[in-house]
Amino acid sequence: MKITEIRGNEKVRGVTRTISGTLGEWMRANNVINIEDLRTVSDKIDLTKEGIISLEGCPEKIFSSLWLGSNYLSTMKYGPREIIGNLILEMNDLNSFEHFPQKIFGALNISMNKFTSLQDIHKHIKIIKGPILVAGDNLKSHFLGVFLIESLTYITPGSSNPTVNEAIVIVNRHLRPTENTSSEVRREAMYACQDELTENGLEEFAQL
């Protein structure tokens, strides 16, 4: 479907959002030549609720936090490979970590998307310098990959499912002490976490 055929307004999750097209089209429509020109005094580029359906036109490196919440992103294709700050993606339609930035020097918020697991997250993201926020996602399995992401030490609980929160608490108990440690130490912590998850009947989460 062509972008011009779907532009307009749509009410999603009780919020009316405007569909404007790709990031590149949004920039041209708003006379933005360099996305870094949008950086605020709080050191963030805020594109929340801008109706963006694709990151086509995005630079490979963002030198601040990038807020893309409440848009229509179903993929991170064309997105940045590195972000010097937080990456806020809450309330989109993402269900895969493919094309995510390899390096995020801040927090990652993927709350209220369509993720059902954290499977293969470590294959796409190599560094996260803050926590991962997953509130509102229907997570059911595969949490161990977080141990293989450099610097990541915390998953923020907040699921409406108590089983998911129980799994997150166990993961954090093993993940938080690994801050500033080697990959070998993180892998040992992963195996210990796998054992505890299994012992508590949470085998689905005890996978990469």
pLDDT above 70 for 143? yes
CB 104 within 8 A of CB 124: no
Same domain for 178 and 90?
no
* Residue 122 falls in which region: left (phi positive, over 0), alpha (psi -120 to 50) or beta: alpha
pLDDT score of 22:
92
Average pLDDT over residues 154-161: 87
CB 103 within 8 A of CB 127: yes
Average pLDDT over residues 121-126: 97
Residue 119 belongs to a domain: no
pLDDT score of 4:
28
Same domain for 93 and 4?
yes
Residue 126 belongs to a domain: no
pLDDT tens, 164-208? 999 999 999 999 888 888 889 999 999 999 999 999 999 999 999
pLDDT above 80 for 5? no
Residue 198 belongs to a domain: yes
Residue 152 belongs to a domain: yes
pLDDT score of 9:
41
Same domain for 105 and 157?
no
Residue 125 belongs to a domain: no
pLDDT above 50 for 66? yes
Give the SS3 label for residue 16: strand
- Range with the lowest mean pLDDT among 6-10, 22-26, 146-150? 6-10
Structure tokens at 110: 């993927």
Same domain for 179 and 92?
no
Same domain for 20 and 91?
yes
Q: What band does 20 get if pLDDT is binned at 50, 70 and 90?
A: low
pLDDT score of 101:
98
Residue 25 belongs to a domain: yes
Same domain for 110 and 11?
yes
Instruction: Tell me how many domains the chain contains.
Output: 2
Backbone angles phi, psi at 196, to 5 degrees: -70, -40
Same domain for 4 and 65?
yes
Residue 77 belongs to a domain: yes
Same domain for 110 and 167?
no
Per DSSP, what are the bridge partners of residue 10? 17
Same domain for 103 and 18?
yes
Same domain for 86 and 31?
yes
CB 112 within 8 A of CB 176: no
Half-sphere exposure of 208 (CA within 13 A, CB side): 10
Same domain for 94 and 162?
no
Q: Rounded distance, CA 38 to CA 205, Å?
A: 39
pLDDT tens, 50-62? 999 999 999 999 9
pLDDT tens, 84-112? 999 999 999 999 999 999 999 999 999 99
Structure tokens at 113: 């998307």
Residue range(s) defining the domain that contains residue 40: 1-114
Q: Rounded distance, CA 131 to CA 145, Å?
A: 14
Residue 7 belongs to a domain: yes
